[in-house]
Amino acid sequence: MLFCFGKGILIGLSIAAPVGPIAVYCIRQTLLRGKVFGVAAGLGAATADMLYGLLAAFGMMQITAVFNEFRLWLRLLGGLFLLYLAVKTYFSTVDANDNKVVSPLNLIDTYCTVFFLTITNPMTVMMFFAIFSGISSTVGINQFIANILIVIGVFSGSALWWIFLSLIIEQVGKKISVSWQRSINIISASIIGGFGLFTLFKL
């Protein structure tokens, strides 16, 4: 059973580690707002990863059918949300004192933003389909427990990656002056917007 948990951690790491719009957003949050916001963003991504892992582990064929049916709508929704996030990032302030205020509302907003960004990311869905395609979906008690441990491992591996990344990036963020923060917003918005346009053009 420990093997199943370890397998889930590796899956979570492999899903979270590739550089994409989610990573760009989490890095930006950490650089400009601190590791707490980076971790909140990462936990949003890890929760979405866990949800897809749960669905894939216990209903692979059904989820595949649903995804194929709504694939274009998911791409449209994900692409539009990325463009919205790019515009929001571009016009966000960099010198307001409340930008780094750690309040439950700010953290929940960051968490929910990345959760929605991850859940509507078609690449996340396809990666889970590819990885979980070889996992049995039988309903025996041993397989059920194994699947649960894998899903918990997926969340743990994804969360560990984002926490580690936030701790590393924060050290860089401490050395960034206010004059550089505007550049970070522009670069982040450009990358996120680029991913959004790419997603829409693939419709």
Q: What is the pLDDT of residue 91?
A: 84
When divided into structural domains, the chain yields a total of: 1
Query: Which residues does the chain have with pLDDT short of 50?
Result: 96, 137-139
Q: What is the pLDDT of residue 159?
A: 92
140 within domain boundaries: no
> Tokens representing 194?
């680029």
119 within domain boundaries: yes
Angle formed by the axes of helices 21-33 and 104-119, nearest 10°: 170
31 within domain boundaries: yes
114 within domain boundaries: yes
Q: What is the pLDDT of residue 65?
A: 64
Q: Is 164 helix (H, G, I), strand (E, B) or coil?
A: helix
Q: What is the pLDDT of residue 130?
A: 66
Residue 63 CA: distances (Å) to CA of 21, 122, 197: 24, 13, 26
82 within domain boundaries: yes
145 within domain boundaries: no
Q: What is the dihedral of CA 183, 184, 189, 194, to 10 degrees?
A: 90
Backbone φ and ψ for 59, nearest 5 degrees, come out as -160, 55
65 within domain boundaries: yes
| Contact call for residues 38 and 165 (beta carbons, < 8 A) | yes
Q: What is the pLDDT of residue 41?
A: 93
Q: What is the pLDDT of residue 178?
A: 64
Q: What is the pLDDT of residue 111?
A: 95
Q: The domain containing residue 77 runs over which residues? A: 20-135+166-201
d(CA 201, CA 192): 14
73 within domain boundaries: yes
